[in-house]
Amino acid sequence: MFVVQTTAGAAKPELYRELAAQLSALLASERHGLANAANTAALIYQGLPDLNWAGFYFFDGGELVLGPFQGKVACVRIALGRGVCGTAARDRRTLVVPDVAAFPGHIACDQASRSEVVVPLVHDGRLIGVLDLDSPSPNRFDADDARGLETLAALFLRASDLSHLAPAPHH
């Protein structure tokens, strides 16, 4: 049994170092991408304060499709370039959005969400999907969160066989 260690009161860099150590241990003996995505979402949701959603969308070759997550029921399909997730996926860069109401084309899956951070998942030059976190608090995420989540996303990608989640590029 894996127990998420408390990180309450830790500064963000220390919090993410601890989460990275826990994620490495959690994924050490498992390669299945879907199982690893589910546990990664659960660890992040339990380990970070002030979240109302944490999870994955995977790219199916045409759009982002909902993957494992923690939180309320979510939007199932997101077009590339649409909302925060679609924009981060299209541009292949992490987006920190302090106020989702001010983001053009924001998709409100949960009306309680006020801020968001999305990390694109890119492996061997291929878009795999995104890691998405929402908070009910404005300005919840910053550059420390972006760096920490990029580290967690990289650990997830390295530990996981994602061949069944993302189609091979068309030739």
Residue-wise pLDDT tens for the chain (171 aa)? 677 776 667 899 999 999 999 999 999 999 999 999 999 999 999 999 999 999 999 999 999 999 999 999 999 999 999 999 999 999 999 999 999 999 988 887 778 899 999 999 999 999 999 999 999 999 999 999 999 999 999 999 999 999 887 665 554
pLDDT on residue 107: 82
pLDDT at 35: 97
Q: Which pLDDT does position 163 carry in this prediction?
A: 86
Gap between the Cα atoms of 36 and 42, Å rounded: 10
User: For residue 144, what pLDDT is reported?
Assistant: 97
Predicted local distance difference test score (pLDDT) of residue 108 = 77
Residue 9 pLDDT: 76
Domain boundaries, the chain: 12-159
pLDDT for 167 equals: 61
The reported pLDDT for the residue numbered 171 is 44
* Separation CA 118–CA 134 (nearest Å): 9
What is the CATH architecture assignment of 12-159? 2-Layer Sandwich (3.30)
Angle between helices 12-27 and 143-159 (to 10 degrees): 10
